[in-house]
A and B are shown apart, each in its own frame.
Chain A
Amino acid sequence: MTGSSFSRSRLAASLPLAAIVLAVLAGIVPVALIGIDEGIITGHIIDAYVLRILWFTLLQAGLSTILSVALAIPVALALARVDFIGRRLLLRLFALPLALPAIVVILGIVTVYGRTGWLSSLIGSPLNVYGLAGILLAHVFFNLPLATRLLLQQLDGIPPESWRLAAQLDFTERARFRLIEWPQMRGSLPGIASLVFLLCAASFAVVLTLGGGPSATTLEVGIYQALRFDYDPARATVLSLLQLALCALLVLLAGQYANAVQSWPSLRRKPDRHDAQSPLRSLILSVIIAAAALFVGVPIAAIVIAGALATFTWSGLLHATLTSLAIALPAAALSLALAWPLAQASARAASPSWRSLLNLSALLTLIVPPAVLATGWFILASRSGLALSAAPFLVIAMNALMALPFALGTLSTSVQQAMAQHDRLCASLGIGGLRRLILIDLPVLRRPLGLAAAMAFMLSLGDLTAITLFGSQSLVTLPALIYAQMGSYRIDAAAGSALALALFSMVIITLLDKWAAKA
């Protein structure tokens, strides 16, 4: 590595680094200032309402985590034991809830479990999917498959010799669990649980659509309500500070697992465990797997079926699709423009402190919840009278920042490898700057770059947080359209829009899948 290429990469990274820090500061500083003012004026900033929201946030996240992880353990154990036609398909299905836009998945859940949903008409009495029960149901729907996949990954990591040893020493089923599987899973449970807790504590779309009222509102949604309905920046600020503290704590605990959210299951062959299941045990395992498959599969199927039967409002749909594209394309480009120099500089970083600063900058956007950023930006924009005209740009910027950790996660390993392979050769041949970019870096990193861009594009395409915070009648993306249609009880129209968005996402997921396999 040469001195000049190092300082150039440091220079190139300084720009995105500065942009990120500035963006985060623009979010936090106004929030903090108002929070301090408010605290000085009123003497107390945390009232009963705020406490209730905080309590509900922790309660629903805690219960969601316990349910998701506790249910994932038997499902993962069953999937590790049974090989069947469609096992790969099921594992892919398990990646869908978090890969599809949240609002689409929620619509699928409402179609099945809602007041006029499939299950209600099946049992003949209307179910209530709103409030705590509905939020828990949705969060388990999102996180049970995630926890299952992560646990299964752990179980797949058991060396084949352990299973041979178990067969030779005639381990009982109990001994296999106690001596092999449980020790392997135990170590990863705290990490998985904190990741699920983080996702549920910061969850926006689920609580926005299925929660409501002060009795079922979380910090993240409370911030949105304070800003958009009550126009109470002071309250939004207090809630933001709480959410900031909570998320910062959780990211420190679970940040290393964050990339698993967007990763695809590696579809390895099921390892041979040299065990024969008794008929009764096979039946139990099959029931567990079938129950999990139905739980995840039916709402996904509902998206397709309800969508196919829906009446499409073509003009609205077309307009929203174009708006979504106009937001997601620049957001993906911006995210990539931030992530690439950061990944390069991090790969070349000579000093550990510089490297950890770079890595922290990407995590910053996880630590600072979108609603907090939005609060600060909203206050700044409305004070300068730009709230309406700046809205599309704020949505783009926020989506780019929200996708940054995932884009960086996708890029960093490949960039690191490419740098290690080519830096010396390029330096000795005197290839640098734009020539190196076109001749070496772009061709070599084409796939990971495409992967990162597609991932950022998809996250932006499905985003409901930024668009509900900054959106308006004149700025409606596909998720915002679905949310509006659901809100005005045009479930039928919402189903059509959701199918369109789901298909759109599936195209990109398929591309991602192809690229990821080759990358």
Chain B
Amino acid sequence: MIRLDNIHFRYDDYTADFDFEIAKGEFVAVIGPSGSGKSTLLSLIAGFDAPQSGRILLDGKDMTRAPPSARPVTMVFQDHNTFAHLDLWTNVALGISPSLKLTATEKQDVDEALARTGLAALARRKPGEVSGGERQRVAIARALLRDEPILLLDEPFAALGPALRREMLDLVKELQAEKTYTVMLVSHNPEDALYAATRTAFLDNGRILAFEPTRQLLQRRDLPELESYIG
């Protein structure tokens, strides 16, 4: 469950205001033009940015001032989800312990997470030696291992082709259904939202202009900002 309660955020002359709630186990997409505040929204929830006022509740607890590591959140970025000098296995294992001292069971968990995301055969490869889609799978495997109830995806599949993107969305949907994760997917692609999300938020200029079932949102013709975004 994610609840943003009268959040006001200001950075230099940029402002954003959010007030909404997402139920546990919901799959929500966030769309909107560049600079509309999509990434800021996720950064506020993950704790990388701090609001000037308002409250952030995650799974019922007030997390407004909590550091990123204390929040029940895993965030997947568009790029740089891996450390280039470590192999995929180690990159995933970092999700358990940054000191990489793992018990036998934990090692098994890493193997399972890799198998689940189709990376078992690539475990000893370095990120530079696998494809962009496989690098993003590493982040998903790590999220699976961390098993935090909230999963934030910041345009993680933007650099992938349509078929591969669909495949990755299937993987995320599958895990979400199984573990009842609350998922927020930032995307530039309304098709992704339609394919994966039950509800979609449309952002413009730091405000949520509409937040409703995806198909209904995409069919709206009364929002000029949405019209000009979708074209």
Residues in chain A within 8 A of chain B (CB atoms): 159, 161-162, 164-172, 174-175, 179-180, 183, 272, 274, 276
Contact = CB atoms under 8 A, between A and B. Distances in A.
A159 B77 CA distance: 11
A310 B59 CA distance: 72
Contacts of A164: 46, 48, 68, 75, 77
B81 A165 contact: yes
Contacts of A272: 48
Contacts of A179: 83, 86, 94, 98
Contact of A168 (B74, B80, B84, B85): B74
A168 B94 contact: no
Given A172-B98, A172-B99, A162 B80 contact: yes
Interface in B32-80: 46-48, 67-69, 73-75, 77, 79-80
B85 A167 contact: no
A161 B81 contact: yes
Nearest to B142: A169
B118 interface: no
Contacts of A170: 69, 98
A174 B75 CA distance: 22
B38 to A, nearest CB: 16
Contacts of A171: 98
B25 interface: no
A167 B80 contact: no
Interface of B is mostly: loop
B69 A162 contact: no
Contacts of B99: 172, 174-175
B83 A161 contact: no
Contacts of A165: 77, 80-81
B68 A168 contact: yes
Contact of A161 (B69, B80, B85, B95): B80
Nearest to B154: A161
A166 B69 CA distance: 9
Contacts of A169: 69, 94-95, 98
Contacts of A167: 47-48, 67-69
A169 B83 CA distance: 13
Contacts of B86: 179
Contacts of B94: 169, 179
15 contacts: A159-B80, A161-B79, A165-B80, A165-B81, A167-B48, A168-B68, A168-B69, A168-B75, A169-B69, A169-B94, A171-B98, A175-B99, A179-B86, A179-B94, A274-B67
A52 B33 CA distance: 69
Contact of B46 (A168, A175, A183, A276): A168
Nearest to B83: A179
Contacts of B81: 161, 165
Q: How many B residues are at the interface, by size bracket?
A: 20 to 34
Contact of A183 (B77, B85, B95): B85
A167 B74 CA distance: 11
A165 B83 CA distance: 10
Interface in B97-119: 98-99
Q: Which among B47, B48, B73, B74 has the highest number of chain A CB atoms within 10 Å?
A: B48
Contacts, number: 53
A162 B77 CA distance: 10
Contact of B79 (A159, A183, A274, A276): A159
Contacts of B68: 164, 167-168, 274
Nearest to A165: B81
A161 B77 contact: yes
A289 to B, nearest CB: 25
B218 to A, nearest CB: 30
Contact of B83 (A172, A174, A183, A274): A183
A164 B73 CA distance: 12
A168 B77 CA distance: 12
A276 B67 contact: yes
B98 A168 contact: no
Contacts of B69: 167-170
Given A161-B80, A168-B46, A168-B68, 14 more contacts: A162-B80, A164-B48, A165-B81, A167-B67, A167-B69, A168-B74, A169-B98, A172-B98, A179-B83, A183-B83, A183-B84, A274-B48, A274-B68, A276-B67
A230 to B, nearest CB: 54
A430 B86 CA distance: 56
B83 A168 contact: no
A180 B84 CA distance: 10
Q: Which among A161, A172, A180 has the highest number of chain B CB atoms within 10 Å?
A: A161
Contacts of B47: 167
A180 B77 CA distance: 17
A23 B47 CA distance: 63
A155 to B, nearest CB: 15
A183 B73 CA distance: 27
A161 B46 CA distance: 12
Nearest to A183: B85
Contacts of B79: 159, 161
A1 to B, nearest CB: 33
A167 B75 CA distance: 11
Nearest to A182: B85
A162 B74 contact: no
Enumerate the 6 nearest inter-chain pairs by beta-carbon distance, A residue then B residue, closest first.
Answer: A170-B69, A161-B80, A175-B98, A159-B80, A167-B68, A183-B85
Interface string B192-209: 000000000000000000
A42 B2 CA distance: 88
A172 B79 CA distance: 23
A161 B48 CA distance: 10
Contacts of B77: 161, 164-165
A180 B75 contact: no
Nearest to B94: A169
B156 to A, nearest CB: 11
Contacts of B80: 159, 161-162, 165
A172 B97 CA distance: 10
Nearest to A166: B98
A100 B48 CA distance: 42
Contacts of A166: 98
Interface string B119-139: 000000000000000000000
A271 to B, nearest CB: 12
Nearest to B99: A175
A252 to B, nearest CB: 27
A171 to B, nearest CB: 4
B110 to A, nearest CB: 14
A180 B68 CA distance: 18
Nearest to A160: B80
A167 B47 CA distance: 9
A174 B99 CA distance: 9
